[in-house]
Every structure is written in C-alpha cells, then in structure tokens.
Amino acid sequence: MVICAGAAGSLVDELSTGDIVVATETIEHDIRSKFGEPLLPRFESAEEAVKELRNGPASILFRVHFGPIASGDEDVIDADRRRAIRQVTGALAVAWEGAGGARACQVSGVPFIEIRGITDQADHRAASHFRENLNTRCGTPPP
C-alpha cells in the first residue's frame, strides 16, 4: 500500500489547523477541459485502510475527518477558488500530489490512501499560515 501523507488547505470552515483528513477518495480537480463538463478523475482510497482508521482509537490531540481530498497543481490562495473547488468536488481539503500517486497506484494495482494535516484555510493567508503551522503540532516552532 502507498500512503500519501502531508499538508493541505481546508475547503470547509469546520476544519481547523492540525485537524487530519483521511481521504475516502482523491479527486483531481485541475484538468482544464474546454470541450464540456469538467474532467474530475476520482480515485477511491484503499477501503480496508479507511475502515481500520475509522475504527481505530479516538485521538485526544487532533480531530480526524473522513471525506474526499481534492488534488491539483496549484496553490489555492483565494476564497473564490476555494469555493469553486469545494463546489465541483465536494472535497474537505485541497493538496498537490495525491492524484499523481493515486493514478500510479491504480495503474499498478497497488492500494492507495491519502492522509493530510490541515495547515491553512486555502485563502489569501494560506502562504503565511502554511509556514506558521507546518511544524507547530510536532512541537517544533516555525522557522
């Protein structure tokens, strides 16, 4: 199994810095098709891994959420783009490299799951919040 773990921006107001999102699916949101409906390749997460994480012990350090994660090659740094991605995908969070990993695993027949920690709200403060929050939950002050 491949586990893609890292940071993400929140696409919903209910997520806070330090919350964890376990992807039930990874959705590639940034294919720019001009001939019709948006192309949104979807990659299901490894069902058994999601099930085990759902049934695992509750965390007292952070909240864990389960739902789709949007993946694309862009920094989401404004409220309009945040809303658009949320609307078209239904995702809880947005990050970069998940769809590439998910696609490679699908082609290779290898189970895949994406797990992300929220560092920012995918808005105009995303760059500074990302830097400030990247290491704070690990006990390391930001650089």
Identify the CATH number of the domain in which residue 116 sits.
3.40.50.1580
What is the residue range of 123's domain?
A: 2-138
pLDDT digits (tens, 9 = 90+) for 15-37: 998 899 999 999 999 887 777 77
pLDDT digits (tens, 9 = 90+) for 67-106: 999 999 988 989 999 999 999 999 999 999 999 999 999 9
Centre a 10 Å sphere on the Cβ of residue 13 and count the other Cβ atoms it contains.
7
Alpha carbon distances (Å) from 122 to 9, 118, 119, 128, 140: 5, 10, 9, 11, 23
Domains held by the chain: number? 1
143 found inside a domain: no
And the tokens for 87? 């609307």
134 found inside a domain: yes
The torsion angles phi and psi of 43, rounded to 5 degrees, stand at -125, 115
Read off the pTM: 0.86
